[in-house]
Every structure is written in C-alpha cells, then in structure tokens.
Amino acid sequence: MKGAGWLVGGTRPFCSRSERIGRWPKARFDSSQVEPSTLENILDAGQSGVRATLEAAQVEQWVSYGNVKVDRWIMREFVVPSVFFDKTKGPDTARIATALPEIDKCCRALDDAVAQTGHLVGSRLTYADMNVIPMLSTLLNFPAGKDILAKYSSLSAYVTRLADLPSFKNTAPPPRR
C-alpha cells in the first residue's frame, strides 16, 4: 500500500449504491494524520458516518504503521537479534545499533499521536492500540528500550496504562527461561 495514490470510484462489496466510494486516502508513514480527502462523499449518512469513516481510516493507518515500522524496528531488527543469536558469535550489535535511531523515530511518532487523547485514534481503545502495545511492552524488557521510552512521557504513560489492563496481563506469555 505504501506509495499507492488515491483509489477513485467503484463501490465497496456488499454495499448499497448510496455508499459510493469517493476517494480513499493512502496511508502515510511520515505523519500521524490521514491525508485530506473527500470523505464526505463516502457515505450519505451525515456527519456521524463521515466521522466513523475517518476514524476507521485512521485506525487502519496506525495498524499499517505498526505492522510496517514498529514491528520491523522493534521486533525484527532489535528484539530478535538481541535474544536469538548464535551463542558462539554473540548478538549482532551492529544490527541492533542501527535499529535504535529508527525505534526512536517510531516512538516519537507514537508519542505525538497519544499525547492528546491517550490513544492512537480518538479517545477510546481501538485495534490500532492493541496492535502496537505488545511490541512496545516488549521493548521495556531491554535497557536500551527503556531509555528510548523514557524520553517520551505520553508514550510511557500509554504503555504503562495499557499494559496494566487485565486483558493484557491475562494474555501475556510466560517469562522466558
């Protein structure tokens, strides 16, 4: 989806003709805002329908950001080489060091997003929040991760609050041995 422009025209599957698609915004990974679009043309349902559609687009944007950026830099480029390595060679410190500035960029973007409402989208828990919180809480298991998160007060409070939810605690994996 990255690099895709606007999808113009057409209809969504299983929708009435009144739910014509105007222009869907493409995902942007350098900003916490969905690009301007003609969302008011998506539904004829009035402002609440437009607001819900905008929120759904923003959730999708943050889920994509989590899957493309946060997962790559925290899990694949930092956690995996820090934990799973050849015991004779040790961790790939060059790969880990390369990931740290990128993790910082991700944390800065997430901190900006959660600063106003305490959630990535709107003022309630969404799938976007549930998608990134396991990765962010895993980051806290490493001293370098704690140092990065400590620089972002809104994000630190967000991680602490969501990781304290009973549903998060009840589904956490057992500690590694």
* Domains by residue range for the chain, with CATH: 65-171 (1.20.1050.10)
User: What's the pLDDT score for residue 147?
Assistant: 96
Tens-level pLDDT at each residue, the chain (177 residues): 445 444 444 444 444 444 434 444 444 444 444 444 444 444 444 555 556 778 889 999 999 999 999 999 999 999 999 998 999 999 999 999 999 999 999 999 999 999 999 999 999 999 999 999 999 999 999 999 999 999 999 999 999 999 999 988 888 877 766
**102/166 Cα distance (integer angstroms):** 31
User: What's the pLDDT score for residue 53?
Assistant: 79
Residue 65's H or E segment, with its range, is: helix 47-65
In the numeric block, the tokens 């967000």 are attached to: 158
Give phi and psi for 7, each to the nearest 5.
-95, 115
User: What's the pLDDT score for residue 51?
Assistant: 66
- Spatial CB neighbours of 151, under 8 Å, sequence gap ≥ 6: 104, 107
